[in-house]
């Protein structure tokens, strides 16, 4: 079967917690999902697909929408009398490509690294897409920023100017970019914000816990492969109209404003 694969950009509008279901038995109770090799935050395909299914379940609510939902995501046994069937669309993990970092010159810069961009380029190529998000090397301990940001400090790192990025890359990664050496970027990704959560009963604290979050303005990139029937993809237009440039909630804690994102098909940038 032939497939059409599209690349999508996720921009976090609010903090996001997509839980790993694990704790480190230290200060943090609830950890975010991380890549098992790089230890960088990730959204696993099962979590991403589940969040998207919840979104489309609300917008595809009639009988025709029910058929579309089953075709794209597979049959839900709870709504199909126990019957199951895999969906025809294939959803891949969402990889972190941008992490916001605090600065002494601007509210924040958007940090990225050679290794995360090289990985996403290779993944895209394997799926038949040429992303060509050109990586930019940086020296360990000296992230590189665009000219005009002399004296910029990002978290604990002094920077050096000389970064040149074209408008196409800025459309994907955002403005105020900073390229970090892979060791430094991995270290940054370990130090995610931790938020205290508290359950009250009659005004008294009954359960205090700490939760790791991916901060707002982080960016992820993921792929969806769709089967082609001849030259067309079934329900592709409907899928795009309800996904592209829409606000979609991913992960837990929707009622307190976590996980609200905007998703854009990169072909529209």
Model confidence pLDDT, tens digit, residues 183-220: 999 999 999 999 988 876 666 666 788 899 999 999 99
Mean pLDDT of 135-162: 93
Residue 230 CA, chain-centre distance (Å), reads 32
Mean pLDDT of 173-181: 96
Contact 45, 52 (CB under 8 A): no
Helix (H) or strand (E) run with residue 107 in it: none
Mean pLDDT of 135-147: 91
Q: Choose the weakest-confidence range: 38-52, 122-136, 188-202.
A: 188-202
CATH 3.40.720 fits 1-18+45-92+219-269, yes or no: no
pLDDT score, position 253: 92
pLDDT score, position 80: 60
pLDDT score, position 172: 96
Domain boundary assignment for the chain: 1-18+45-92+219-269
pLDDT score, position 65: 81
65 by Cβ neighbours in 10 Å (0-12 / 13-18 / 19+) ranks as middle
Mean pLDDT of the chain: 91
Confidence of residue 170 (pLDDT cuts 50, 70, 90): very high
């Amino acid at each position: 079967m032939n497939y059409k694969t599209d690349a999508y950009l996720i921009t976090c509008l609010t903090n996001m917690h997509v839980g790993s279901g694990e704790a480190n038995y230290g200060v943090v109770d609830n950890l975010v999902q991380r890549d098992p090799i790089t230890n960088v935050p990730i959204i696993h395909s099962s979590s991403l697909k589940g969040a998207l299914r919840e979104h489309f379940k609300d917008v595809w609510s009639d009988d025709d929408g029910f058929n579309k939902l089953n075709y794209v995501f597979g049959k839900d046994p709870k709504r199909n009398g126990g019957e199951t069937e895999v969906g025809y669309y294939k959803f891949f993990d969402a990889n972190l490509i941008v992490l916001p970092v605090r600065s002494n010159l601007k509210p924040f810069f958007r940090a990225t690294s050679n290794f995360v961009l090289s990985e996403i380029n290779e993944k895209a190529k394997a799926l038949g897409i040429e992303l060509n998000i050109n990586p930019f090397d940086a020296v360990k301990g000296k992230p590189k920023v665009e000219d005009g940001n002399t004296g910029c400090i990002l978290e604990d790192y002094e920077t050096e100017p000389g970064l040149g990025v074209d408008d196409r890359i800025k459309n994907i990664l955002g403005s105020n970019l900073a390229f970090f050496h892979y060791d430094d970027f991995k270290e940054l990704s370990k130090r995610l914000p931790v938020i205290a959560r508290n359950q009250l009963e009659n005004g008294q604290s009954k359960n205090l816990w700490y939760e790791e979050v991916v901060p707002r303005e982080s960016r992820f990139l993921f792929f969806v492969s769709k089967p082609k029937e001849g030259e067309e993809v079934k329900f592709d237009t409907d899928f795009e109209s309800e996904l592209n440039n829409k606000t979609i909630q991913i992960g837990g804690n929707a009622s307190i404003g976590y996980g609200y994102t905007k998703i854009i098909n990169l072909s529209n940038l």
